[in-house]
Amino acid sequence: QKEVEQDPGPLSVPEGAIVSLNCTYSNSAFQYFMWYRQYSRKGPELLMYTYSSGNKEDGRFTAQVDKSSKYISLFIRDSQPSDSATYLCAMSADNYGQNFVFGPGTRLSVLP
Amino acid sequence: ETGVTQTPRHLVMGMTNKKSLKCEQHLGHNAMYWYKQSAKKPLELMFVYSLEERVENNSVPSRFSPECPNSSHLFLHLHTLQPEDSALYLCASSPQGGGTDTQYFGPGTRLTVL
C-alpha cells in the first residue's frame, strides 16, 4: 500500500462547481497536512496548512482532516478556470520539512 | 529577482554528459531542498540542506551530487545519468527547515536524458 494515495484525475468540472479533492494515507502518525497547487510549468505553491484534525477555511478553499479515517480533503467553492492546476497533498508526522510525504497529485480542469 | 529561481529551465543531456542544475533563493531562508517530480508519481525528496549542512539524503544514487556553497545557492551536479532520471527537478527553500515552515518552490528544471 502506498503511503499517500490520491486520485490522479484528470477531474473536469464546469465553472462555479464545488470541487472535492481527496487524499488517503496509511501512517497514523501524520499530523501536519498541506495542500499545494501546481500550475503547468511552475513549481508547487502552498495553499493550505492544517495541524491534526478539523477544518480550516481560506476564502473559497476549505481543508478538512479526518484522522480517524486517515482522510483529508480540499474543497473549492465557486470554482474558476484559474483554479485549473494539479493539486498535491503532503503530510508529515513531525515538525521537519524533510519528512514531508507527497501524494502524486490530482489534475483539475475548470471549464468556462 | 524574487523568490526561488532555477536554471536552466530545460536541459537535454546524453548519458555520458556532466551538467549542473542551479538554484538560487532570494528569501533569506536557511533551508534548501532538491525534489524529483516524475509523471504521475509523488514528489520525491532528494536532498535537504539546513544552514549549508546536508541534513537528509534519501538514498539517492551517487550520480546525483548536491552542493550548497552558501544559504542562497544550491547546485545539483549530474553525471552518467540514466534515461529513467528524466523528470522535473524542483528546488525549494524554507525559513528554518521545520514542518511548519512553508516551502517555496522554484519553477523546476525539466531534464531529459537521452
Q: Inter-chain contact A43–B56, Cβ cutoff 8 Å?
A: no
Residue B7, CB half-sphere, CA atoms under 13 Å: how many? 4
pLDDT, tens only, B17-43: 899 999 999 999 999 999 999 987 888
* Substitution target from A7, A91, A98 for chain B, most B beta carbons within 10 A: A98
- Which of A39-43, A57-61, B82-86, B93-97 has the least mean pLDDT? B93-97
What distance lies between CA A88 and its chain's CA centroid? 5
- In chain B, residues with a C-beta closer than 8 Å to the C-beta of A96 are 97-99
pLDDT, tens only, A43-88: 999 999 888 888 999 999 999 999 999 999 999 999 999 999 999 9
Q: Inter-chain contact A97–B42, Cβ cutoff 8 Å?
A: no
Closest CA–CA distance from residue B31 to any residue of chain A (Å): 9
What is the structure's pLDDT at A94?
Answer: 78
B40 contacts chain A (CB < 8 A): yes
Give the residue on A whose Cα is nearest the Cα of B104.
A45
Give the integer Cα–Cα distance in Å for B44 and B73. 20
| Cα torsion angle, A107, A110, B2, B6, sign | positive
B66 contacts chain A (CB < 8 A): no
